Amino acid sequence: MAAITKIKPDLSVDFAGIRLKNPVLTASGTFGYGEEFRDIVDLNKLGGVIVKGVSLRPIKGNPPPRIWETPAGMLNAIGLENPGVDVFLSEKLPYLRNFNTAVIVNIFGSTLDEYVAVAERLDRVSGISGLEVNISCPNVKAGGIVFGTNVEATFDLLSALRRATKLPLIAKLSPNVTDITVFARAAEDAGCDGLSLINTLLGMAIDVRCRRPRLANCTGGLSGPAIRPVAVRMVWQAARSVKIPIIGMGGILTAEDALEFILAGASAVAVGTANFVNPLATLNVVKGIENFLREEGIETVRELVGKVMA
Amino acid sequence: MAQHGAAGKGYYRLVLRAPELADAALPGQFVMLRVSDNLDPILARPFGISAVIAKKSIELYYRIVGRGTSMLSGVEAGRLLRVLGPIGNGFPAPAKETVPVLIAGGSGFPPFLFFSTYFRTVSPIVVIGARSRSCLPPYAAISRFKDRAKKVYIATDDGSAGRKGLVTDMLSSVFASTKEQGRFVFYACGPRGMMAAAAAFAERHGIPCHVSMEERMACGLGVCMGCSVAAASGGYKRVCKEGPVFDSREIDWSEQMLLKLRK
């Protein structure tokens, strides 16, 4: 083992052409558009912010109950509530421009055309570093089959988006598939610059006295520490099947959790549910990674990417 | 946790020493309290603030309603717990010529304890309802209401204490028994059905009405969008950000009732 270095470790990452000062980002849907954390987290200290998903038109979201706590996690069926791309551009993005942090906009739609329309609206807008494409949405033109669970639909969607924008394009993969590597390769083949995974696992909880689902939507997305082993496994599998870089996420609470993903093959990580558990979680993860590098005598975080001996 | 103990009627009273929080707290606001010092349970629990003590501590009352509150009840005084707050918009301050009618159903009374000690230019009417005598607020809490209120009315569904009937039946008597109805402002906190009925009564009689809403919560910061309640204008409003106190006309009560009936 190398002697403990006295040089400050280099946490910077070049992710798909986006310069990140450190590998820690906030996961979409867990940090709003940054303003709510104004007095809590200095966004300048984060590698980047992935904002709550933006759609072409405003979406109201699902009726409550929208959330339910589960062992080491939670289910959510928020329903993609957001004010729409126009309000995002006029009211939300200006605040984020005040900070020296990457702003990645998560986008989605209910048809391929809607996805493309949102991407076109965001293309060449200053202050946006990249787009993260939420492919875990039902395609209403195909009977509601989720894009991200069908390879052809995934490839067609991402190819269309590739044509629509020059921004770095990151495909957020769904874990609710049999073989994540098939989808990872489809995204790479379609021209994506990077991947992010995993999105939430589909789950359900039932109130046994009332005999009803706990969520108004019946099913919802499971997040939090409970899903971390699944997420780490999928990042590892995906990283071995593509060359494009990966943002790893799924139940990261501490720096050690983040490092699991990095060793598995992620070049950057996103912290989500942890923001509800400890609003300072992102900052703790940044500091913790830095301390780890120092203790292990490692000069750059980059050299850890994919270094699990498996 | 400075003090923690059973308060009677199945309620627990806890006092948390948290000077910065206590100094900023206003009636109607709440806190998100982590009930253990580890990740089980993973989410904090919301509790309405019932008092600020010597500008240093906040008081909360709660019942055991699930896993989180069950775990909390076993935490001894002297332990340190993480708390986020004060959260939310609080009750609008009552103008001194008004007569606040504080309508507390079930475990909705704590924010009104704070209201009645904080707003000293008014003397409220307090209407307390519960399913039965054993579900009423603890004696000490009712006593505190009596210290500050013009009058305290009690109603139980089964008639085991006070008047038999719903809180909203009581409102008709309250309304009829005074010449000051024109100065009434309703504040309601409790089960959805009760608040919907109070809102409807207020609407019929042209009385301003503020409701303190409650919904399952994850972040308490306004980012997860989990605690949203249906708004009359369409769409949803966050209990932790736009609320918890709303003008009753802002709420879509029909959807509230639909959701309640599913239970």
Contacts A210 to B, Cβ<8 Å: 262-263
Using alpha carbons only, what angle is made at residue A250 by residues A245 and A256, rounded to the nearest 5 degrees?
Answer: 85
- The mean-pLDDT minimum among A234-248, B218-232, B243-257 falls in B243-257
The band of A217, judged by pLDDT with boundaries at 50, 70 and 90, is very high
Q: How many other C-beta atoms can be found within 10 angstroms of the C-beta atom of residue B128?
A: 27
* pLDDT given for residue A85 in this prediction: 98
**pLDDT digits 0-9 by tens, A33-58:** 999 999 999 999 999 999 999 999 99
- The mean-pLDDT minimum among A90-99, A136-145, B122-131, B145-154 falls in A136-145
Contacts B255 to A, Cβ<8 Å: 63
- Please give the average per-residue pLDDT across A118-139, as a whole number: 95
* pLDDT given for residue A2 in this prediction: 54
Contact across the interface for A36 and B236, Cβ inside 8 Å: no
Res A300 pLDDT > 60:
yes
The band of A140, judged by pLDDT with boundaries at 50, 70 and 90, is confident
Residue with tokens 């009374």: B109
Res A62 pLDDT > 70:
yes
3-state secondary structure of A310: coil
Torsions phi, psi of B167, nearest 5? -55, -40
Strands across the sheet with A73-76, in order?
A67-70, A73-76, A219-223, A201-204
Q: Mean pLDDT of all residues in chain A?
A: 96
In 3D space, the residue among B191, B195, B156, B173 whose CA is nearest the CA of residue B263 turns out to be B191
Give A38→chain B minimum CA distance, Å.
11
- Please give the average per-residue pLDDT across B94-114, as a whole number: 97
Report which residue type is found at A185. R
The band of A4, judged by pLDDT with boundaries at 50, 70 and 90, is low
Contact across the interface for A277 and B40, Cβ inside 8 Å: no
Contact across the interface for A60 and B216, Cβ inside 8 Å: no
Contact across the interface for B223 and A74, Cβ inside 8 Å: no
**pLDDT digits 0-9 by tens, A286-298:** 999 999 999 999 9
* pLDDT given for residue A188 in this prediction: 98
- Please give the average per-residue pLDDT across A211-225, as a whole number: 97
Write the residue in B219, B226, B235 that is nearest to A60 by C-beta: B235
**pLDDT digits 0-9 by tens, A74-83:** 999 999 999 9
- Please give the average per-residue pLDDT across A185-189, as a whole number: 98
* pLDDT given for residue B261 in this prediction: 56
* pLDDT given for residue B35 in this prediction: 97
In 3D space, the residue among B213, B59, B189 whose CA is nearest the CA of residue B124 turns out to be B189
Residue with tokens 């990452």: A13
Rounded to two decimals, the ipTM of the complex is 0.94
- Separation of alpha carbons B114 and B145, rounded Å: 10
On whether the CB atoms of residues A2 and A293 are closer than 8 A, the answer is no
Contacts A30 to B, Cβ<8 Å: 219, 223-224
* pLDDT given for residue B259 in this prediction: 63
Active site (catalytic) residues of A: 137
Torsions phi, psi of A150, nearest 5? -130, 120
* pLDDT given for residue A3 in this prediction: 55
* pLDDT given for residue A1 in this prediction: 54
- Please give the average per-residue pLDDT across B137-166, as a whole number: 96
DSSP A50: E
- For residue B184, list its beta bridge partners: B99
* pLDDT given for residue A141 in this prediction: 86
- Residue to test with chain A: of B34, B82, B228, most A Cβ within 10 A: B228
- Separation of alpha carbons B167 and B155, rounded Å: 6
3-state secondary structure of A246: strand
3-state secondary structure chain B: CCEEEEEECCEEEEEEECHHHHHHCCCCCEEEECCCCCCCCCCCEEEEEEEEECCCEEEEEEECCCHHHHHHHCCCCCCCCCEEEEECCCCCCCCCCCEEEEEEEHHHCHHHHHHHHHCCCCCCEEEEEECCHHHCCCHHHHHHHHHHCCEEEEEECCCCCCEECCHHHHHHHHHHCCCCHHHEEEEEECCHHHHHHHHHHHHHHCCCEEEECCCCCCCCCCCCCCCEEEECCCCEEECCCCCCEEEHHHECHHHHHHHHHCC
3-state secondary structure of A107: strand
Res B262 pLDDT > 60:
no
In 3D space, the residue among B81, B86, B94, B78 whose CA is nearest the CA of residue B4 turns out to be B78
Write the residue in A30, A60, A73 that is nearest to B223 by C-beta: A30
Provide the percentage of residues in chain A whose pLDDT is more than 70: 98
- Separation of alpha carbons A274 and B221, rounded Å: 13
* pLDDT given for residue B258 in this prediction: 64
Residues of B engaging A, defined by a Cβ cutoff of 8 Å: 39-44, 68, 82, 84, 215-230, 234-236, 241, 255, 259, 262-263
Res A131 pLDDT > 90:
yes
* pLDDT given for residue B168 in this prediction: 83
3-state secondary structure of A53: strand
- Separation of alpha carbons B114 and B111, rounded Å: 5
Contact across the interface for A275 and B219, Cβ inside 8 Å: yes
* pLDDT given for residue A144 in this prediction: 85
**pLDDT digits 0-9 by tens, B12-54:** 999 999 999 999 999 999 999 999 999 999 999 999 999 999 9
